[in-house]
Amino acid sequence: MSEPTTPGAFPRRDFLKAGGALMVGFAIGVPVAAQQPAAGLPGAPDPNRLDTWVAIHSDNTATIFIGFVELGQGNSTALLQIAAEELDLEMSQVKTERVETGKTPNQGGTVASASISRGGPQIRLAAAEARQALLGLASVRLGVPPERLMVSRGVVSVVGEASTSVTYGALIGDRRFDVTYTGEAPLKDYRSYTVVGTSVPRHDIPAKARGTYVYMHHVRVPGMLHGRIVRPRGQGAYADGLRVVSVDPSSIDGIRGARVVRRRDFIGVVATDEWGAVRAAQQLKVVWDTPASLPATPAALFERMRSSPTIDRVAHDVGDTTAAFPTAAHVVARRYDAPYQAHAPFGPNCAIADVKGESAVVMCSSQNVYLSRTKLADVLQMPEQQITVQYYEGAGAFGHAPYNDAAQAAAVMSQEVAAPVRVQFMRWDEIGWDNYGPAHTSDVKIATDANGKFVAYEYHGWQHTWSQTDTTAQLAAGRPPTESATEGTRAQLVSTFNAGDMHVLPNWRIVNHRVPGMKGFLKGQSLRSPLDIAISFGSEQVVDELAYLANMDPYLFRRQNINGDRWLAVLTAVAEAAKWAPRRAGANVSSARVVTGRGIALGTHLASYGAAVAEIEVDTQTGVIVAKRMYGAIEAGQIVNPGIVESQITGMLIQAASRVLKEEVTFSPTGVTSVDWVSYPILRFAEAPEVTAVIVRRQDQPSTGAGEEAVAAGAAAIANAFFDATGVRLQEFPMTPARVLAALKKEGRA
C-alpha cells in the first residue's frame, strides 16, 4: 500500500506506518526555521521577522509559512503561486507547512474568501523581501551590484554571463535570514507574471484522488480512546443551553471498554474501539430538560424577529428616500424570508486532543488556530502558551462549522479521562448542533421613474445576534451565550455593497434591525455568502419586477441602471455566455404541465462582483423545480489561478441551486428536526445543472476573493427564472415543491 503523503514537509511527524493510515506522534520536533515568538501573542511567530514567512533550503527549495488553512478550495496552491512568482522559483520548488499555533504566522481566520485578498499581499511582500535579501547576498558572493543580477528557478546569475551564478540554496540554505520584514521590498510588475494568472494544478488533488491525503479523520495517536458526544438529536434555543436531569451509566454496562464522561451538562462517552463508542452514545440513557422555547414554525420565527425589540442602525442613507418614493412612476415593495441553513460538511467534524496536566495538543479542522487556542484555554482553564493547536483538513464546510465545539469536546474528554481522545461527530451532531447560517427577513422597496431609471431604494433587514460561545464551552464550562463586544460584528449585517451597490441609486437607505439577546433563536455563524443569498433573493426579484413594469428585458433594464464598469463587465459577460436574447420576463408563460424559464441576477459578498443566469424547468403538478443550466461570472480583481476560480464558480452555482431550492433547517419548539441528509436534503448528482463559469479578469486590480459571489447571484437568478416560467413570484426560500404549489395555487396557476 502506498505511503501517506500530504503537501509540504512535516518534519515533526512520527510515522508508525501500518497499512495506509497515519499515526502521528505528539512529539514536537524542530521546525525548518526556528521562529521567534511575537511580543503580543503567546507563541505566535513574530510577523515582523522575515524568517517567520520564508525559509530557503540547501536543495534550493523554499518553505512558505502560511497562516491560512486549506479548506479544499485550492487557496494554498494559489498562495504558493504568489510566493513562487515573487521569488522566481518554480512551483516544484515551493511548499508549505501545516498550520499550527506557534509555528505558522497568525494571519487571522480563513474566512470571507480572505486567503488571497488579505493573505496574498502579505505572502507576496514576504517573498519579494526574501528575494531582495538573497540578491544582496548574491551580490557580495559574485562581486557584482544587484542591478546586474537576474534570477531563474532560484539560480542567481549575472546578466549576460550565465556561467557566473549561485543558487539560493548555496547562499542561505537552511540558515536564517535574520532580517526585519519591512513590507517595503519592490514588487514585480503584474504584466511580467509567469506563474500568477496561470492554472497551475492544485498540489493536493493527486493525493486526494489516490486516497493517501491525510484528513483530520485519518489521524490516530498512540493510546487514543474513541469518543462521542451525547446530546439530544437537534439543538434547542441557544440561550437556554441544555440541562441534564439524570444519566444512567449502567445503560451502557454491556459495552466492553465504554464509559461515560461528564462535566456539568456536557456528556460524552469514550471506548477503546470506535464501534463501542458509537453504540454507547446511542444507548446511553440521559434525561434532558429541553425547554420548548423555539418558534413553532419557520413563519413564527420571522414574526418573532420582526416583533422583538431591535437595535436599529442606519447603515447607509443617501438622498431622501421618503421624499423620492411618492414621485416615482413605479414602486414595488415586498417582504422576503430566508431560513437558517446548515454548513453540513460532507464529513462531520472530528478532533483529537491530548490534555496532560500542564499542556495540551489539539488537532482539528479550525479555520483559525489561534482563536481556537484562546477558546480552548478558557474551557481547559490552562494558559494559552501551553496549548498547541494543529490544523488538519476536514471536509469542506464553507464557514464556521462547529469545529471549535468538536475540538473542545475532545479536549474536555481527554482532560477527564487522562488519555488522548478522538471525537468524531456523528451526522446528527454535525447538522443538529451546527452554528447555522443566519435566518433573515427583509422589506425591500425600490422605485423607478417613467423611463425605468431607479429613483429610490430602501432595504430593511432583520437578523439576530450571532453566537460566540461554543456548545461545549456552554455545557462543560457553564459559559453563557455571549455577544461580540463590537456592534459591527454582533451579527451579519446588510451593507451597501450587497444591497444596492450594483445600481445607480440617487436615494438609497439601508437599515439593519438587529435582534439582541439570542433568546428563542438558534446558534448562528457565518456560512458561505452569509446574508448575501437572502439579500439578492429579495432585492434582485424586486429589480426584476420593476423591469417587468417598465416593459423591459431584465438584462437590459439592469444595464441601464448599472453602477460602474466592473458591475457592467460581469453582467455583460454572463449574458453573453448565456446567449441572452432580450425579451420581457414571463412572456412565454403557458398552461403546459412542465414550463421553462430563465432569469438573470447580480450578487456579491464584500468586494467582488458576481452575476448569474439560470435556466429552469418547473413541473406545475408536482411543484418540482429543476435547474437545467446555470452560468456564473465573477470579477475578483487579479486572478491568481483561473482554473481554481472556475472550479469555485462551478461549486458556487451548484450550492446556489441547492440552497435556494432545497436547504432549510427545520425545528419544533423543543429543537431542530433536520439532522441528516434526509431531513436536511442538499442538491444531488442527478439534479445538478450544467454549468458555465466565466471569469472577468482584472489583473491590474488587487485580488478580492472569489468564493462567495456566484451563490447570491445564482440563487436570485433561479428565483427570477421561476417568475419567467410561471408568472408567479416566491418570497421565501427554499423553493420547495410545497411552497411552489401553494404559490401557484394562490395565483390560480395550479
Partner 1 sequence: MPTTLTVNRRVVEVEAAPDTPLLYVLMNDLELQGPRFGCGLAQCGSCSVLVDGVETRSCVTPLERVAGKSITTLEGLSAWYAQQKKLATAPDLHPLQQAVIDEQAIQCGYCYNGLIVKGAELLSQNAQPTDQQIRTAMNGHLCRCGTYPRMMKAIQRAARTMAGGAA
- Tell the smallest beta-carbon distance from residue 71 to partner 1 (Å): 7
Residue 149 vs 652, nearer CB to partner 1: 652
Distance CA 226, CA 614 (A): 46
Per-residue mark of binding to partner 1, 37-76 (x: CB under 8 A)? ----------------------------------xxxx--
Distance CA 332, CA 676 (A): 39
Contact 226, 273 (CB under 8 A): yes
Residue 217 vs 264, nearer CB to partner 1: 217
Q: Contacting partner 1 (CB under 8 A), which of 209, 314, 450, 485?
A: 209
If binding is defined by CB under 8 A, does position 501 make contact with partner 1? Answer: no
The number of beta carbons lying within 10 Å of the beta carbon of residue 333 is: 13
Residue 73 vs 104, nearer CB to partner 1: 73
SS3 475: helix
Within residues 703-732, the interface with partner 1 by CB under 8 A covers: none
If binding is defined by CB under 6 A, does position 109 make contact with ligand FES? Answer: no
If binding is defined by CB under 8 A, does position 254 make contact with partner 1? Answer: no
Within residues 505-564, the interface with partner 1 by CB under 8 A covers: none
Residue-level length of the chain: 750
Residue nearest to ligand FES (CB): 346
If binding is defined by CB under 8 A, does position 201 make contact with partner 1? Answer: yes
- Tell the smallest beta-carbon distance from residue 398 to ligand FES (Å): 10
Nearest to 224 by CA among 272, 186, 279: 272
If binding is defined by CB under 6 A, does position 346 make contact with ligand FES? Answer: yes
Nearest to 720 by CA among 708, 733, 707, 709: 733
Distance CA 543, CA 559 (A): 12
Residue 623 vs 651, nearer CB to partner 1: 651
551 binds, among ligand FES, partner 1, none (CB under 5 to 8 A by kind): none
- Tell the smallest beta-carbon distance from residue 21 to partner 1 (Å): 3
Residue 18 vs 34, nearer CB to partner 1: 18
Residue 102 vs 734, nearer CB to partner 1: 734
What's the burial of 718, exposed, middle or buried (CB within 10 Å: 0-12/13-18/19+)? buried
If binding is defined by CB under 8 A, does position 647 make contact with partner 1? Answer: yes
Nearest to 84 by CA among 60, 110, 69, 62: 62
Distance CA 549, CA 32 (A): 65
Q: Contacting partner 1 (CB under 8 A), which of 203, 218, 316, 558?
A: 218
Written as nine digits, the cell of 107 is 494571519
If binding is defined by CB under 6 A, does position 395 make contact with ligand FES? Answer: yes
Per-residue mark of binding to ligand FES, 17-56 (x: CB under 6 A)? ----------------------------------------
If binding is defined by CB under 8 A, does position 253 make contact with partner 1? Answer: no
- Tell the smallest beta-carbon distance from residue 427 to ligand FES (Å): 8
If binding is defined by CB under 8 A, does position 691 make contact with partner 1? Answer: yes
Applying CB under 8 A, the site for partner 1 has a residue count of 67
Residue 505 sits at φ, ψ, to 5 deg, of -130, 105
Place of cell 435582534: 515
Q: Contacting partner 1 (CB under 8 A), which of 18, 140, 311, 738?
A: 18
Q: Contacting partner 1 (CB under 8 A), which of 145, 275, 383, 480?
A: 275
Within residues 401-440, the interface with partner 1 by CB under 8 A covers: 424, 426-427
651 binds, among ligand FES, partner 1, none (CB under 5 to 8 A by kind): partner 1
If binding is defined by CB under 8 A, does position 210 make contact with partner 1? Answer: yes
The number of beta carbons lying within 10 Å of the beta carbon of residue 108 is: 16
If binding is defined by CB under 8 A, does position 7 make contact with partner 1? Answer: no
If binding is defined by CB under 8 A, does position 399 make contact with partner 1? Answer: no
Q: Contacting ligand FES (CB under 6 A), which of 72, 394, 714, 734?
A: 72
If binding is defined by CB under 6 A, does position 284 make contact with ligand FES? Answer: no
Per-residue mark of binding to ligand FES, 401-430 (x: CB under 6 A)? ------------------------------
Within residues 562-591, the interface with ligand FES by CB under 6 A covers: none
- Tell the smallest beta-carbon distance from residue 689 to partner 1 (Å): 8
Contact 343, 399 (CB under 8 A): yes
Distance CA 507, CA 445 (A): 12
SS3 126: helix
Residue 173 vs 642, nearer CB to partner 1: 642
If binding is defined by CB under 8 A, does position 211 make contact with partner 1? Answer: yes
Position 540, amino acid: E
Distance CA 267, CA 433 (A): 14
Residue 31 vs 72, nearer CB to ligand FES: 72
DSSP letter, residue 691: E
If binding is defined by CB under 8 A, does position 344 make contact with partner 1? Answer: yes
Q: Contacting partner 1 (CB under 8 A), which of 274, 303, 449, 619?
A: 274
If binding is defined by CB under 6 A, does position 396 make contact with ligand FES? Answer: yes
If binding is defined by CB under 8 A, does position 27 make contact with partner 1? Answer: no
If binding is defined by CB under 6 A, does position 249 make contact with ligand FES? Answer: no
Convert 358-391 to b/e letters by CB count within 10 Å (16 or more is b).
eebbbbbbbbbbbbbbebbbebbebebebbbbbb
- Tell the smallest beta-carbon distance from residue 677 to ligand FES (Å): 8
If binding is defined by CB under 8 A, does position 278 make contact with partner 1? Answer: yes
If binding is defined by CB under 8 A, does position 19 make contact with partner 1? Answer: yes
Nearest to 227 by CA among 20, 407, 476, 431: 407
292 binds, among partner 1, ligand FES, none (CB under 5 to 8 A by kind): none
Distance CA 249, CA 233 (A): 19
CA distances (Å), origin 380, targets 100, 110, 351, 404, 415: 19, 24, 15, 13, 8
Written as nine digits, the cell of 89 is 522559483
- Tell the smallest beta-carbon distance from residue 345 to ligand FES (Å): 8
Distance CA 456, CA 327 (A): 10
Nearest to 33 by CA among 57, 8, 66, 68: 57
CA distances (Å), origin 715, targets 343, 406, 535, 721, 733: 17, 31, 10, 10, 10
4 binds, among partner 1, ligand FES, none (CB under 5 to 8 A by kind): partner 1
73 binds, among partner 1, ligand FES, none (CB under 5 to 8 A by kind): partner 1
If binding is defined by CB under 6 A, does position 438 make contact with ligand FES? Answer: no
DSSP letter, residue 18: B
If binding is defined by CB under 6 A, does position 275 make contact with ligand FES? Answer: no
- The three-state DSSP-derived secondary structure of 539-606 is HHHHHHHHHHHCCCCHHHHHHHCECCHHHHHHHHHHHHHCCCCCCCCCCCCCCCCEEEEEEEEEECCC
To which H or E segment does residue 630 belong?
strand 625-635
Angle between helices 709-726 and 532-549 (to 10 degrees): 40
Written as nine digits, the cell of 743 is 404559490
Assign 3-state DSSP to the chain and report helix, strand, coil percentages, each to 5: 30, 25, 45
Applying CB under 6 A, the site for ligand FES has a residue count of 4
If binding is defined by CB under 6 A, does position 399 make contact with ligand FES? Answer: no
Residue 33 vs 344, nearer CB to partner 1: 344
Contact residues toward ligand FES (CB under 6 A) are: 72, 346, 395-396
Contact residues toward partner 1 (CB under 8 A) are: 1-2, 4, 18-22, 71-74, 201-202, 204-206, 208-215, 217-218, 220, 273-275, 278, 344-348, 393-396, 398, 424, 426-427, 643-644, 647, 650-655, 658, 676-678, 682-686, 688-691
